[in-house]
Structure 1
Amino acid sequence: MPGISSGRIMSARTLRSAADLAEAGLLPNAAVPAVERVGARYSIAVTPAVAGLVDRADPADPIARQYIPDAAELLTAPHELADPTADEPFTPVKGVVHRYPDRALLKPLLACPVYCRFCFRREAVGADGGVLGEAELEAALAWFARMPAVREAILTGGDPLMLSPRRLGSILGRLSAMPHIELLRVHSRVPVAAPDLVTPALAEALGALERPIYLCVHANHAREFSPAAMEALGRLQRAGVVLLGQSVLLRGVNDSAEALEGLFRAMLRARIKPYYLHQLDPAPGTARFAVPVEEGRALLRALRGRVSGLAWPTYVQERPGGAGKVPLGPAYEEA
């Protein structure tokens, strides 16, 4: 895959099959045939960093639940959609999603260091990487250049921090040089899922830009903030990158006031401002992770006054048909 540090992506230590997971003690041997069927449809990848966080003695481990495939993924509920955020209708050129007037997404690749079992792009992301070719990338950047109303460029994917520092720096530099682009944002799982990829060269590439840059770190449980993750996050902060946190409300992972409090406090300790708590997007085979909105509101209501306002994210849900995010509350009655 051009521009990707392929040696690190293809590391033999990353677990990429049911057999790999069973050998590592992350999957019962009896579950291997079912997970092989899951793997034929949805990519599997569990990094050494993630595997090291899993409590193998806990069958309900919240880290394992996020990353270890389950046969239920092949069951599609009636309400689930292949493209739940409706990226496709808002794609003017390949790799670009333009849903809001003043900002747009750029997806330079569709590879990730890990594949979350609840991902709303799980039908698109995978081991082949979906990297934009040179002509496709030039077309995407040309689109940004001729859209003066777009003030914020958001790199997502896939995971943009899978790109080599040179490639990532080049893309961000091109965007930063456009007079109308005021902000740059990158969404990534890398700092917590593959912190070894946050090298000094990568931090330098992010910190050497003419525009403010924000990194949204996706984490769903306090235990994801390992010592290695904290070191990677510190490296980014020292380079001048502002860190925000985004999470998904997930059954069996963070669906208690205690788990959410732990997650948000862990973010603050890492100097990350909790930004968004997402209601689960209805991607196929993700029903086992769903938490009803009213339950989510009750969880956040339980945290009001229990945690600092700095720890409070906006609870949001994507509206159907790609109409964008709406805040869900909770609401409070007047005294």
Structure 2
Amino acid sequence: MITAAPSPIQPAALQPPRWQHAWREAVRDPGELLSLLGLDGLAAKVSAEAAAQFPLRVPRGFIARMRHGDPDDPLLRQVLPLDDEMRRVPGFGLDAVGDSAARAGTGVIQKYQGRSLLVTTGSCAVHCRYCFRRHFPYAEETAARDGWHEAIALIRADSSIDEVLLSGGDPLSLATSKLAELTDALASVPHLKRLRVHSRLPVVLPERVDDALVDWLAALPWPVAFVIHANHANEFDASVDAALSRLRQAGVQLLNQAVLLRGVNDTVSALADLSERSFAAGVLPYYLHQLDRVAGVAHFEVDDTRALALHAALAARLSGYLVPRLVREVPGDTGKRPL
């Protein structure tokens, strides 16, 4: 028998970053996810149709933070495709926040004075079932097309724009070299004063915060607000703490935005734990969003009366700097609408 020669070991410089390996190893099969958690009996509630329309994707490190054997685990609830998603509910549509009407160019959304949002990519390391862009036409609407040229030209032509938001998808889904290509181009725009990055990856895939990313952030010519997205205190662990510490060392301001979700964080204790845990990790609570009413997410909705009561109780329990602003995004408004 002729044995195959061993594969040569790649030099470190040629090996893909560790985070990309973790990305590729993400779980995509609902059955595998339930099996890993000892919840095979929950398979009857999984919707194959919902999973086909909006596929499951969840990193294994995030799964490791879920409670084994608990069908009501708040992290599992955020990612498992259920039959509830297929119910048609009046008032829930495909574009809940008016992205289409605010389109300024390919992958460029401009809703508010002085700020432009770039849809940098349609990719994400985790597919959150309540995602307000789950129906967004990413194939046609990504700012990276044509080397960012159209997006940069639009921003350069409007001197009122002094802040750019990198969104998606998740901008950290892109290689750091691609992010640097974008910010190098933005650096030629004289009227930019701030950069904002919205990313869930430091929470769900903390491996993404590597040396190259930290070096890129530290070298940017603007103050940077880095907005993470965690909805429950259990999303934090030592690996997330370490990633957030590295981001702070790069000089960025860390903020957290959460979504109020039924069955995930719709109790005063869950919200208080989230604020305290995020602050312990160096992240200031920023926004608590009322659910964006996109088709497929009605089972997560908390009504306004209960939301206001929860927020009032939270404010009575915590120091003011730990209380995020309760807001809703309303198409056509000049900013997030406080409740």
Provide TM-score, normalisation by structure 2.
Answer: 0.89
Q: Is the 8 A contact 2:22 2:205 kept in 1?
A: no
Match of 1:86 among 90, 98, 101: 98
Change (3 A) 1:291 1:58: same
User: What is residue 288 of structure 2 aligned with on the other side?
Assistant: 277
Deviations 1:51-100 (A, max 9, x none): 11111221111111111111111112111010000101111211100111
Structure with higher Rg: it is 2
Partner of 2:36: 24
Aligned residue for 1:290? 301
Gaps of 5+ in 1: 329-335
Aligned-residue CA RMSD in angstroms?
Answer: 2.4
Q: Which among 107, 117, 132 is matched to residue 129 of structure 2? A: 117
Q: CA deviation at 1:21?
A: 2.2
Tell me what 2:5 maps to: none
Q: Per the alignment, do residues 12 and 180 of structure 1 end up closer, same or farther by CA in structure 2, a change over 3 Å counting? A: closer
User: AA paired with 1:90?
Assistant: A
Which residue number corresponds to residue 70 of structure 1?
Answer: 82
Q: Is the 1:5–1:163 Cα contact (8 Å) retained in structure 2?
A: no
Aligned length in residues:
324
Alpha-carbon spacing, 1:94–1:215, altered in 2? closer, same or farther (3 Å): same
Q: Which residue of 2 aligns with 1:263?
A: 274
Distance 2:19 2:145 in 1: 21
Alignment of 1:171 onto 2:185: no
Is residue 310 of structure 2 the alignment partner of residue 299 of structure 1?
yes
Q: Percent identity?
A: 36
The letter for the 2-side match of 1:79 is G
**CA distance, structure 2, for counterparts of residue 206 and residue 59 of structure 1:** 39
Structure 1-normalised TM-score?
0.90
SS in 2 for 1:214: strand
SS of residue in 2 equivalent to 1:161: helix
Displacement of 1:323 in angstroms is 5.9
Corresponding position of 1:331: none
SS at match of 2:329: strand
Structure 1 position 206, deviation (Å): 1.3
Equivalent position amino acid for 2:51 in 1:
G
Aligned to 1:333: none
Structure 1 partner of 2:228:
217
Q: Distance in 1 between matches of 2:234 and 2:137?
A: 25
Deviations, residues 271-314 of structure 1 (Å, cap 9, x unaligned)? 11111110000011111110011111111111224211110111
Q: Does 1:142 align with 2:153?
A: yes
Tell me, yes or no, if structure 1 residue 227 matches structure 2 residue 275.
Answer: no
Which aligned segments of 4 or more residues in structure 1 are displaced greater than 6 angstroms?
Answer: 4-7
Q: 1:219 to 1:7 in 2, by over 3 A?
A: closer
In 1, Cα distance between equivalents of 2:226 and 2:169:
14
- Report Cα offsets for 1:93-133 as digits up to 9, x if no partner: 1110011121010011011000001010011388x897555
Corresponding residue for residue 201 of structure 1: 212
Does the C-alpha gap of structure 1 residues 138 and 20 become closer, same or farther in structure 2, counting only changes over 3 Å?
Answer: farther
Q: Deviations over 1:205-248 (max 9, x none)?
A: 11211110110010000111111000000011001111011000
Identify if the C-alpha distance between structure 1 residues 104 and 131 changes in structure 2 by more than 3 Å, giving closer, same or farther.
closer
Where structure 2 has 5 or more consecutive residues not aligned to the other structure, the ranges are 1-15
For the residue of structure 1 that corresponds to 2:47, the secondary structure is helix
